[in-house]
Amino acid sequence: MTTKTTDARSAIWNAIEACPALNPDGKSVFKRKFKHETGEGGTLESIIQSGLGDMPSIEIVPGRQEFKWQTQRMADFPYSIDVRLIHTRLYRLEQYAQDIIKAAWQQTPLGSPVPFVKAATGYNPQSVSVSVPTLARIGDRTQAVKAWAMTVTFQLQFQYDPFGST
């Protein structure tokens, strides 16, 4: 059984992988994906370890989590997920960020009217923000190259009973 936070992160991945704009002809625009899934080798790898041949790269990591109590047993659980992007072309990052945002609200599993994110959390994303693009050094420290980095942060929400099974 996975945690609700893992399910939420997986829902963002599923939305991205189902998005036609990010997977033209069935092939992802991202050459390297850092999914941090169970059983995956190199679990301590990060997007900053990408090299020029890995561009563009994507990584999804948990962000801030905080409970907001509703009752004595039930809490709203605002949860941030960061979608980190790196590429040598800034205009491409802007397009990918736009497509990822659209995918989180619109992409549904085959045969379902409910988007991936809403199915996993019970809610559509509450908000989204996109960071200011920055230059990042990537790859081997001795031969590091610069690339553009951008983060799309989704604020998700679900209800959680830390004392029970829901």
Q: Residue 68's beta-bridge partner residues?
A: 76
**Predicted TM-score (pTM) of this structure:** 0.85
Tokens 């992802």 locate to 28
CA atoms within 13 A on the CB side of 38: 7
Nearest to 83 by CA among 65, 107, 59, 101: 59
Number of neighbours of residue 19 by Cβ within 10 angstroms: 19
Which CATH architecture is the domain 4-160 placed in? Answer: 2-Layer Sandwich (3.30)
Dihedral of CA atoms 155, 156, 160, 162 in degrees, nearest 10, equals: -50
Tokens 């610069």 locate to 146
Three-class secondary structure assignment of 110-128: CCCCCCHHHHHHCCCCCEE
105-143 pLDDT, tens per residue? 999 999 899 999 999 988 899 999 999 998 888 776 666
The token pair that represents 54 in the structure block: 């890995």
Question: How far is Cα 26 from Cα 20, in angstroms, rounded to an integer?
Answer: 8
Domain definitions of the chain by residue range? 4-160
89-101 pLDDT, tens per residue? 999 999 999 999 9
- Averaged pLDDT for residues 136-165: 79
- Averaged pLDDT for residues 78-97: 93
Distance of CA 49 to the CA centre of its chain: 18
Judge contact between 154 and 64, C-beta under 8 A: no
pLDDT at residue 1 greater than cutoff 50: no
